[in-house]
Amino acid sequence: QQQQQPQTSIHENNCNTNNSSVLQQSFSKSNIRSLLSCILLCALPASAYYIFSVWLAIFMETLAQPPIPHAFAITTANNIIVIPSKLLCGWIADYWGGNYVAMMAFACLMLAWMAPLLLYYIGKDGTVAIAFVGQGVLLFVEALFNAGRMPWLVKSFPPSIRLTSFSFAYNFSEAIFGGFTPAVATALTSKYGSTAPGYMITVLSVLALLGLLIAPKKTLDGNE
């Protein structure tokens, strides 16, 4: 027992040292660009999911003039349809040879102009068909973005600090951008109309492209 006590203390000290080292490396100067890139890339889907799947249903039922019938049924149907669509997007990512940057850039460019345009027509015409197709297209393009985003972000950090870095950047972005999206979207709609949250997606798409530009070049194993 006397011999095991020092071993336990040494093990605990090593764990504490390793944890401290992981945190220092995660927030080191060499990893800051990867963290910022991850935060900007996670901001777009954090806000887009709320706007496309939650806010849009409320808007169609209560804010659109005239209100769109069966708004929540439309949203439920589109969210069910997007499940196999995500599998399709994953297959596209693999078939494309892992060119995740091109996938994300394409999705960002599509969302940048499609979001305000489709939200405008959904709010203007008030038909079930336009609402169903418009929301479905937006959810599919978001799924395409996520199909490239998740594997690429994992590879953006060295294996030794991958989980710490990714979890911080992901949750920070979800808390800030996803957390404030409901208030910002409601305020924009009240002041500027139904198209305004779409321009919010436009701005976040540009920020996501910026995140791709500032990301350091890395190999598949996370080493520069």
Answer whether residue 38 shows pLDDT above 80.
yes
Distance of CA 220 to the CA centre of its chain: 21
∠ CA(42), CA(131), CA(148), 5° rounding? 25
pLDDT of residue 96: 76
CB 52 within 8 A of CB 135: yes
pLDDT in tens, 98-148: 688 899 999 999 999 999 999 988 888 778 999 999 999 999 999 999 999
CB neighbour list of residue 214: distance below 8 Å, 6 or more residues apart: 33, 36, 37, 40
Tell me the mean pLDDT in the region 164-168: 90
pLDDT of residue 221: 38
pLDDT of residue 29: 81
Beta strands in 28-156 (DSSP E): none
Burial of 109 (0-12, 13-18, 19+ CB in 10 A): middle
Residue percentage of the chain with pLDDT more than 70: 87
pLDDT of residue 65: 79
∠ CA(119), CA(83), CA(163), 5° rounding? 100
Dihedral sign for Cα atoms in the order 193, 46, 88, 35: positive
Q: In this structure, what DSSP letter does residue 53 have?
A: I
Q: What is the DSSP string of 131-187?
A: HHHHHHHHHHHHHHHHHHHHHHHHTTS-GGGHHHHHHHHHHHHIIIIIHHHHHHHHH
Three-state secondary-structure class, residue 155: coil
Categorize the per-residue pLDDT at 158 as very low, low, confident or very high, splitting at 50, 70 and 90.
Answer: confident
**CA dist., res. 145 & res. 217, Å (int):** 20
Categorize the per-residue pLDDT at 19 as very low, low, confident or very high, splitting at 50, 70 and 90.
Answer: low
**CA dist., res. 133 & res. 55, Å (int):** 16
